[in-house]
Amino acid sequence: RNQLASVKGKAIMSEKSCTIRTRKFITNRLLERKQFVIDVLHPNRASVSKEELKEKLAKIYNVQDPKCIFLWGFKIAFGGQKSTGFGVIYDNLNAAKKSLSKHLLLREGIIQKQAGKLARKAGKERKNKVKKVRGKEKAEVRTGKAVAKKKKE
């Protein structure tokens, strides 16, 4: 019974349905994307997954690659039944990699986190530990081997 009817920026489904409305729709040629505010009406549901929203937006806007659709910043209205967020549809993935923030690209799995890079706090703690140590131990602390030695003992 889940049938999709698309009507110029709106998707309506029955039963466990949700209605999608886009507003403030702008075609941004400089950044090779379409950007919009997305309103999702979802009565009888807590929220709607981003994957489901991406599928529906891909059908409405005829997007070949759903990886080019990015959604974020959803807030559920008080009392539920309505969520509002922001979305962009890039012309291609290269355009997305150029202008979209790194944490959104990481979340979608388009780029990978650098191997061996510590979190900000861990890096600062290691830097301060290196300051306190002298001689050969400095190199061990920098590489993290000093921590491994302590665990073995």
* Residue 136, Cβ density class (10 Å: 0-12 exposed, 13-18 middle, ≥19 buried): exposed
Per-residue pLDDT, 37? 95
Please give the chain's pLDDT, 153 residues, in tens: 444 444 455 554 445 788 899 999 999 899 989 999 999 998 888 888 889 899 999 999 998 888 889 999 999 989 888 999 999 999 988 888 888 888 888 888 888 887 777 888 988 988 888 888 888 888 888 777 765 566 566
H or E element at residue 127? helix 120-132
34 phi and psi, to 5 degrees?
A: -110, 130
Residue listed under structure tokens 């937006």 = 57
**3-state helix vs strand vs coil in the chain, percent to 5:** 35, 25, 35
pLDDT computed for residue 10 by the predictor: 54
Residue 132 confidence (pLDDT) = 87
Nearest residue to 25 (alpha-carbon basis) of 35, 38, 11, 33: 35
**pTM to 2 decimal places:** 0.67
Dihedral of alpha carbons 76, 66, 20, 90, sign: positive
pLDDT confidence of residue 153 = 60
- What pLDDT was estimated at residue 13? 46
Tokens of 82: 């309505």
d(CA 26, CA 117) in angstroms, rounded, equals 37
- Using a 10 angstrom Cβ sphere, with 0-12 exposed, 13-18 middle and 19 or more buried, the burial of residue 130 is middle
